[in-house]
Amino acid sequence: MSIKSKQLLWFFAFFLVFELNIYLSNDMIMPAMLGIVEEFQAEKKFVPLSLSLYLLGGSSLQIFLGPLADTIGKRKLVLTGNTLFLLATLAVPLTASIEQFLAVRFIQGMGCCFIFVGYAMIHELFDDMAAVKLSSILSSTTILAPLAGPILGSAIISRLDWRYVFFLSGLLSLLSLLGLFKTMPRTAPPVTRPDLAAIVRSYAAIFSNGRFMFGMFTAGLATVPLTAWIGFSPIFVLQEMGAPYATYIALQCVILSGFVLSSIAIQRLRQDFPLVSLLRLGGLIAAAGMLGAGAGRHHVDVFAACMFVYSIGFGLFNGALIRSAITASKESMTLTTAAMSLLYCIYLSAWLQLYNVLCQRFGYALETYALLNIPVIVVITACLLLFTRGMAGRQESGVRLARH
């Protein structure tokens, strides 16, 4: 790995703190959500709604930030995003009602919109191999946060008020802001003004690309079961089952660790491994796991083991699905990635809210969640089969599994 200077290495380290903190802040508070809605005398439907609004906040700005990054500079955007996240994080403990809490959580989620700007800067500042390896480290935060977040959150709220979760997140946010301000390179924005007409045409081409849209729909739907588990599990485990935090943490680790194993397995695949095979293999494993979880919904240990299998399958096909979708568009990768992030969060939030409505109607129970997943996995499997049709037998230019 070739690193140009220690300053760039420190920049990467502080950006890693920024990204990890955004994900941790959401996952750490989930074990406390039952206590929060009780304190605000609100209904338990607001537990998953908090996650939905956080995700919606994370999809609200990317479509504008892509062109803006090339106009005012990436450094200013990343520092602005970090500052916004810091202020919103410190404002959450000051809220006095569930409505205020949810509104500030939406603003806090906007910090996620700025992450892709930092990714783009890393690819510009480092050579090929260094950029690939550093991006792989950054991607691991999406795995670490759902595992470490509930553990840290449970440890905090077992001894302190839930507001200390945001105090810790605020401290980490201040650390990343000061570090990025000192180490993030200053790059001059281009002199030419952005061509708004060209940007609109590019976005129109991206959103009218059927393969891209279908792939993102499938990816968003496939993420719903695991995201819904993160959002609903405090109700299922802590309230309905009456289980202790230790059981809640154990279930999180079992179910989500499958994603970790699949990520390790992907690293060991040969570079020319066909994506169509990865999509089909992962889809079959995911379908078997989800159907097993539905059948074993009355036995928590069987349910958790089968969800672990789904997590493995999802981890195998998700990256390949997103890669195939975004490379279907020939437009700017910055704009395509921004569109991807927007659609991904919108789809995820919409499906998560549908789960919330149905669970409210039929009862917030593990059995309800497991049964809801069955038609979802049927649709996911059908979508994957349709998406891979035509991929076999031909080699798609640029659509090959890269070793991260």
At 404 the three-state DSSP class reads: coil
Residue with more model confidence, 144 or 25: 25
Residue 3: band (very low, low, confident or very high) from pLDDT cuts 50, 70, 90: very low
Q: Is the pLDDT of residue 393 over 70?
A: no
CA distance 154 to 32: 7
CA distance 292 to 370: 10
Q: Which two tokens stand for residue 332?
A: 């700017």
Per-residue pLDDT of 54-95, as tens digits, reads: 988 888 888 888 788 777 888 889 999 999 999 999 999 999
| Percentage above 70 pLDDT, the chain | 88
Residue 395: band (very low, low, confident or very high) from pLDDT cuts 50, 70, 90: very low
State the CB neighbour count (10 A cutoff) for residue 369: 25
Per-residue pLDDT of 231-290, as tens digits, reads: 888 888 888 888 888 888 888 889 888 877 887 777 677 666 777 888 899 999 999 999
Q: What is the mean pLDDT of the chain?
A: 84
Q: Which of 10-19, 113-122, 341-350 has the highest mean pLDDT?
A: 10-19
Q: Which of 100, 372, 385, 37 is nearest to 228 (CA)?
A: 372
Per-residue pLDDT of 157-180, as tens digits, reads: 988 999 999 999 999 999 999 999
Per-residue pLDDT of 121-160, as tens digits, reads: 776 777 655 665 676 567 667 667 777 888 888 889 988 9
Alpha carbon distances (Å) from 273 to 86, 212, 270, 384, 385: 42, 22, 6, 18, 18
CA distance 111 to 115: 8
